[in-house]
Amino acid sequence: MDVYVGNISVSFDVVGHGPRPLVFLHGWLMSKESWYPLLKYLPLNEYQAFICDVRGFGDSDKPPHGYAIEDYARDTVRLIRAWNIKPVTLIGHSFGGAGSLYVAAKVRHYIDSLVVLDTFPGGGAPSVDPKTKHHLQRVRELIQRTPEQKQGQVLQRIWLQAFHRPPSADVLDIQRQAIKKIYPHVLEQTLHTNLTTNIDQLLPRIHCPTLVIRGEHDRMLSPNVEPLERITHAEFIQIPGAGHYPMLEAPEEVAKQIHDFLLRYPRSSGRR
């Protein structure tokens, strides 16, 4: 299905028929299909999952400009309005997690609860470990010196290196399809956003129940630094044996943690 938000078309799926809406924002290089392994383990008689391809990725539009964190946040708010489902539980991974943090801080009455996986507040944030910034810089330099016709292979390799447990054949196929749909101008601008975003100052403004999930072996994030510790009353959990993609490496465990968290924090009100 597709819906227009502003002047772009966003591709989305709706899974489940439960009363509590969950909105999922995928990470960099990925697509809405990346959430399906996790959804298999959520009780979808209790939830209704809205999964979308964020601008520039999957089957959504890829405009020439408009890839700042503010653009992604604006799209998310417009999607929630178009679906008429506020307040929602917002669930974001990595790049999508940063956008989720921004929305939760800025448009608080839209967000009932928040879950972020392996997320940091942008490469420009002082709270982020230099190791993470160095990794992002290396990725940008690698992409810049790779001929366009070979970028897909390089992107697949970058993606695979962030796993601790090898991905399944189905997950590999989902990712191959996602990478085929990425354009060079999207790569360039989203890498710039990853490197320059700084939303440290917004973190104390997040007051909804928040669950921060991290893979035990995420090599993108330092084990000694928690850049989201300024979120008031956030809960932090680690997924054993997982890397940067815990929802793909340990989907059953991640689904259990999300479900248990949401059971502790019932939805604050009906659809408005």
What residues form DSSP beta bridges with 93?
117
Q: Is residue 271 part of a domain?
A: no
Domain that holds residue 209: 2-264
Tokens of 222: 């330092």
| Domain count along the chain | 1
Q: Is residue 74 part of a domain?
A: yes
Tokens of 102: 């921004």
Q: Is residue 49 part of a domain?
A: yes
Tokens of 49: 């999952």
Which H or E element spans position 259? helix 251-264
3-state class (DSSP) for residue 220? coil
Look at residue 269 in the predicted model and tell me its pLDDT.
55
pLDDT per residue of the chain (272 residues) written in tens, 0 to 9: 999 999 999 999 999 999 999 999 999 999 999 999 999 999 999 999 999 999 999 999 999 999 999 999 999 999 999 999 999 999 999 999 999 999 999 999 999 999 999 999 999 999 999 989 999 999 999 999 999 999 999 999 999 999 999 999 999 999 999 999 999 999 999 999 999 999 999 999 999 999 999 999 999 998 888 999 999 889 999 999 999 999 999 999 999 999 999 999 998 754 43
Q: Is residue 272 part of a domain?
A: no
Task: Tell me the whole-structure pTM to 2 decimals.
Answer: 0.96
Model confidence over 116-165: pLDDT tens digits? 999 999 999 999 999 899 999 999 999 999 999 999 999 999 999 999 99
Give just the sign of the alpha carbon dihedral 116, 195, 58, 4. positive
Q: Are 243 and 162 in contact (CB under 8 A)?
A: yes
Q: Is residue 191 part of a domain?
A: yes
Instruction: Read off the CATH number of the domain in which 220 is found.
Output: 3.40.50.1820
Q: Is residue 114 part of a domain?
A: yes
Q: Are 51 and 80 in contact (CB under 8 A)?
A: no
Instruction: Quote the CA–CA distance of 179 and 51 in Å, as a whole number.
Output: 18
Q: Is residue 269 part of a domain?
A: no
Q: Is residue 251 part of a domain?
A: yes
